[in-house]
Structure 1
């Protein structure tokens, strides 16, 4: 069972200097060499959390698709190719990574969960689920479960890492079985999914489940 502790992640400045990002996980595959030379990110997919404290333009990532979710703050006004989209908390929004995009902050600073995937290679999805203390939420292979709000613990289930991941940030690993004591999660900590002893999350609050699916012909 792997846990990526948000507190251990180092903030990295945006390419355009407009904010900072903490990378939770990414995958660098066949696209890495071409991406690095073109300057649009040396990864096939990436999951990160960004702090947005001022209005301005976003970096362009041609050839990718983005799913952006406001996870802290009230409202983000996102303009994509000249069309403005009001984004409320916990409502994922999909848009082309290469589009001209910028944001305004009518209600103050916000924090975004940002998922990017290279078109034709991977498809990314973000869903927001409410946790329960009675029914555990499983996190399967190819998924990350990110605690957005509340209190929760994670335990290995009956049935590990994110199979396609080559970078998982600062992750805790444990080999305990089903009888291992549950591990407490902090805000924005991420649980790496697995189909072997699938991690199960119990608690009260909201969880973001990010799924990264390979594109097959």
Structure 2
């Protein structure tokens, strides 16, 4: 099992060409056909269209700010104003984003359709150690608070905005916190696609 801790100092930050925001890439993994999966955080400062990604499934969660409204994902606009509530959509959909009241930050998971399976959950971690099911690969992002990850006898402290990446899990991960932390848990059931380490700056 390999263990990586990804901090904000390692993120790759890219301003948008239209000047409407910036994207922080936390980590990603590719194969010969291109993107397999990517974790990122966007800071959205103004209204505008989403970039389109063919054959990519996306899950977006509001991290901070009043929220935004997505036009184009169905018959009615989709209002995203509840923090850490996942919303899924196809990456090739033509979507226009309208901010509700000022800038926002959102968390994004992208996975290549029919190539990657990912299960995303939002968990509140308390003072009783919470065991997580054993998966081939796992990413845990701390959205708020501080967390201690327990792997057997090993203790790994995680601050807000830290990401823990576990490849080929062999020991059940347990999480504990003294301040009711919230984490985004992303699990990949299959071993076959993840024989190499992810990329991050």
Distance, in Å, in 1 between the alignment partners of 2:121 and 2:96 is 23
Task: Say if 2:142 is the partner of 1:147.
Answer: yes
Contact 1:140/1:193 (<8 A) preserved: no
TM-score normalised to the size of structure 2?
A: 0.81
The aligned residue for residue 205 of structure 1 is 181
CA contact (8 A) 1:131 1:137 kept: no
- Output the aligned Cα RMSD: 2.3
Q: What secondary structure does 1:74 align onto?
A: coil
Segment drifting more, 131-140 vs 199-208: 131-140
**Pairing 1:168-183 to 2, within 5 Å after superposition:** 178=153, 180=154, 182-183=155-156
Q: In the aligned structure 2, how far is the partner of 1:55 from the partner of 1:120?
A: 31
Three-state SS of the structure 1 residue aligned to 2:9 is helix
- The aligned residue for residue 99 of structure 2 is 105
Q: Unaligned stretches of 5+ in structure 1?
A: 33-42, 158-177
TM-score, normalised on structure 1?
0.75
| Match runs of 1:111-130 below 5 Å | 111-130=105-124
SS at match of 2:146: strand
Match of 2:197 in 1: none
Partner of 2:78: 85
Number of residue pairs matched? 184
Aligned-partner Cα distance in 2 for 1:16–1:136: 43
Structure 1 residue 18 displacement after superposition = 3.2
> Distance between the aligned counterparts of 2:102 and 2:164, measured in 1?
29
SS of aligned partner of 2:85: coil
After the TM superposition, list the runs of 4 or more consecutive aligned residues in structure 1 that deviate by more than 6 angstroms. none
